[in-house]
């Protein structure tokens, strides 16, 4: 997902009150689930994970949403407070056909929430003195222009900095870019791996570096640093920067240097095809046609869009991760400026969430209430403080991680992308979860 959703709408502390906008059902009956009839959840949707009495209203909130939206197979919610996960539960089905209930340790694709990992990895390299945010990215990569391309690189590429890539001001706009493979305007190269491979005469589908090489021959849509335009491709470039500077594959560096020091062992890069599904990974159910009617980017018979209609492997650094909701909550909770619990220090974390000139100010210099920082959407409210989040959306996936100004962090993931009325589940639930968190007067110790 790429737009500034507003999942945090704080209420002044003096006006906080118990939330009664959700169905209050008996939780005792949900552990003895019956085999599903289609996707109907009814009152028998399974719930797994340790029950937390003080936070039982979150159980009811999720159960009610699944009950009302029979197209949603399952969900996983984790909540952390002051750096510690205090709630981790899963609802509904990891795999409907196999009658496999979702578990707190079920792995989900997190789509663009992956950008938060990439941004943190970049900040770690900056912290270690290996990178400079104002440094130019493309000269660092020292790419060779594809020999079969007549177009010369846009000279403005050499002005694209690491900072520009992090806050989506590098110069690419997928909404207005001319599509070299279609008749319509609009081009996100991350969804054209077969066409790019054919264009470069390299094995198909194209690798992330192949996609970057291809894009050296495409013109920028605007001067770097002059405006914001969400760019998956910009984060693909950041992944290649991490590989160049660290000397390690992108996924290995992030896992070994960033996540494992936090105790996060399960998060990893996902795979496209259903045959390569990781152990404990959920089965995705896209909201569209369930039939295999998408061209397989790896060749062979047609597939469902979410299982080979796009190349997840090439999306590693902008959308390729799978993780548990607890992984996301633990990672986000580590980014507390006052008491960091991961490899990033307070200065790096503060820099990560700082207001960029390009995205944080209006043309007249007035501070904007919301901006995109280095890998996070940020919103400032008075008197509560600053909240930060990132969402993610693929066919079959909806995810959101939230850092609230009161020290509460939560992460929610679904294995579908729309509810019964074609709304994105994570966007629907974000304000409801925040309102309920506002009403909690006593959190688990």
Is the confidence at residue 355, as pLDDT, over 90? yes
Q: Return mean pLDDT, the chain.
A: 89
**How many CA atoms lie less than 13 Å away from 34 in the CB half-sphere?**
9
Given this structure, which CATH class describes domain 112-266+296-320+337-374?
A: alpha beta
pLDDT for 272-324, tens place per residue? 999 999 999 999 999 877 789 899 999 999 999 999 999 999 999 999 999 99
Cis peptide leading into residue 313 (ω within 30°): no
| Calpha distance 316→20 (Å, rounded) | 40
Is the confidence at residue 8, as pLDDT, over 50? no
Cis peptide leading into residue 319 (ω within 30°): no
| Calpha distance 340→342 (Å, rounded) | 6
pLDDT for 259-277, tens place per residue? 999 999 999 999 999 999 9
Is the confidence at residue 249, as pLDDT, over 80? yes
Q: Among 42-46, 219-223, 441-445, whose mean pLDDT is lowest?
A: 42-46
Summarize the confidence of residues 342-361 as an average pLDDT: 95
Every domain of the chain with CATH number 3.40.710.10 lies at 112-266+296-320+337-374
Closest CA to 413 of 112, 109, 118: 109
- Residues counted in the chain: 445
Residues forming beta bridges with residue 75, ordered by sequence position:
91, 414
Going by pLDDT thresholds of 50, 70 and 90, the confidence category of residue 383 is: confident
């Amino acid at each position: 997902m790429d737009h500034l959703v507003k999942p945090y709408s704080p209420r002044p502390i003096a006006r906080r009150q118990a939330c009664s906008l959700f169905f209050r059902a008996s939780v005792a009956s949900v552990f003895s689930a019956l085999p599903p009839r289609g996707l109907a959840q009814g009152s028998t949707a399974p719930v797994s994970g340790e029950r937390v009495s003080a936070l039982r209203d979150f159980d009811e909130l999720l159960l009610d949403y699944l009950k009302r939206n029979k197209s949603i197979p399952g969900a996983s919610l984790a909540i952390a407070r002051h750096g510690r996960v205090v709630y981790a539960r899963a609802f509904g089905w990891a795999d409907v056909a196999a009658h496999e209930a979702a578990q707190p340790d079920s792995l989900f694709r997190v789509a663009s929430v992956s950008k938060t990992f990439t941004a943190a990895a970049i900040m770690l390299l900056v912290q270690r003195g290996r990178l400079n945010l104002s440094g130019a990215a493309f000269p660092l990569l020292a790419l060779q222009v594809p020999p079969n391309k007549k177009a010369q690189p846009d000279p403005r590429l050499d002005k694209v900095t690491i900072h520009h890539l992090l806050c989506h001001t590098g110069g690419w706009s997928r909404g207005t870019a001319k599509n070299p493979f279609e008749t319509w305007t609009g081009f996100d190269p991350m969804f054209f791996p077969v066409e790019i491979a054919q264009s470069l005469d390299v094995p198909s589908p194209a690798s992330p570096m192949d996609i970057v090489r291809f894009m050296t021959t495409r013109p920028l849509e605007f001067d770097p640093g002059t405006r914001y335009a969400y760019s998956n491709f910009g984060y693909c470039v950041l992944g290649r920067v991490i590989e160049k500077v660290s000397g390690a594959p992108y996924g290995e560096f992030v896992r070994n240097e960033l996540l494992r020091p936090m105790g996060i062992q399960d998060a990893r890069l996902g795979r496209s095809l259903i045959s390569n599904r990781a152990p404990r990974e959920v089965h995705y159910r896209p909201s569209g046609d369930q039939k295999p009617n998408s061209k397989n980017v790896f060749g062979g018979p047609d597939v469902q869009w979410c299982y080979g209609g796009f190349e997840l492997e090439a999306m590693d650094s902008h959308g390729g991760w799978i993780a548990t909701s607890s992984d996301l909550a633990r990672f986000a909770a580590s980014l507390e400026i006052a008491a960091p619990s991961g490899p990033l220090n307070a200065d790096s974390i503060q820099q990560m969430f700082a207001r960029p000139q390009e995205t944080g100010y209006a043309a007249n210099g007035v501070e904007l209430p919301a901006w995109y920082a280095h890998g996070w959407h940020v919103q400032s409210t008075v008197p509560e403080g600053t909240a930060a989040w990132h969402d993610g959306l693929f066919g079959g996936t909806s995810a959101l991680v939230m850092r609230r100004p009161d020290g509460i962090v939560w992460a929610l993931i679904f294995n579908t992308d729309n509810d019964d009325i074609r709304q994105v589940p994570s966007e629907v639930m974000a304000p409801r979860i925040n309102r309920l968190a506002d009403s909690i007067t006593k959190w688990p110790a």
